[in-house]
Amino acid sequence: MGRISSLAVLQTRMVAELPGCPEMLRVQALQEAFQEFCRESEAWREELAPIDIVEDQLEYDLIPEFDAMILRLEWVKLNTEDGVTEGLEPDPLAVELYTLTPGDPEVLTLDDGLEPTEDITDALTVKAILIPEFNSLDISEWMLNLHYRTIVAGAMDIRMRDPNKRWTNPAKAADYAMRFRDGIQTAKAEVTRDYKQGSSVLPM
């Protein structure tokens, strides 16, 4: 198939095996499956837009490009003015030097010892592990194109377990459930392998 541009496009792959199932229910199942996939695999990781730091300010709103929540942070980096100017990449901060507070938006709080002494443009960078908002169709294309088979399998499992419908099929649902779980485990392994190429310790 061609490049997938949105989650809703995948619902067409479900039509043949779900006779009579409305498009709305197919899309809803894809949304549920994708959210579960992201929560369990932690595979959706995005570097957020650089943030300007402000003198004496320790709290910063974290706003993903997509309609998504931040599950946790892979890393946080705090640069100097010279570092930003020269394009230098700082090391990630130790996890005890910041906290993430859930909310809308999520808030990153730096340790008191990191209180900025001046304003610096684009000095704070963050890589976040995301999960989509429940009803969201605003999802990264790279994630869809890398994991669409697993997402569809999860959605098929959800719909085929609907009770007393034309498309109900418990036996086939079990098969799709196994494919979904396998896809999650594969994604987890890929995240671990990719991270270990740059570090010997996974972030927690």
What's the confidence (pLDDT) of residue 197? Answer: 53
Q: Is residue 63 part of a domain?
A: yes
Q: What is the pLDDT of residue 62?
A: 97
Is residue 203 in a domain? no
Same domain, 121 and 76: yes
Last residue of a domain, one of 132, 161, 180: 132
Position 9 scores a pLDDT of 87
Q: Which of 77, 97, 132 is the last residue in one of the domains?
A: 132
My answer on whether 33 and 57 are in the same domain is no
pLDDT in tens, the chain (204 residues): 568 888 888 999 999 999 999 999 999 999 999 999 999 999 999 999 999 999 999 999 999 999 899 999 999 999 999 999 999 999 999 999 999 999 989 999 999 999 999 999 999 999 999 999 888 888 888 999 999 999 999 999 999 999 999 999 999 999 999 999 999 999 999 988 775 554 433 333
- The reply to whether 1 falls in a domain is no
Q: What range defines the domain where residue 175 resides?
A: 7-43+140-196
Same-domain check for residues 66 and 126: yes
Whole-angstrom distance, CA of residue 18 vs CA of residue 59: 48
- For residues 122 and 85, state if they share a domain: yes
- Whether residues 29 and 68 fall in one domain: no
| 55 and 72 co-located in one domain | yes
> In whole angstroms, what is the distance from residue 129 CA to residue 47 CA?
9
pLDDT of residue 129: 96
Q: 38 and 59 in one domain?
A: no
**127 and 154 both lie in a single domain:** no
pLDDT of residue 196: 56
Q: Which of 92, 115, 132 is the last residue of a domain?
A: 132
Number of compact structural domains in the chain: 2
Distance CA 15, CA 5 (A): 18
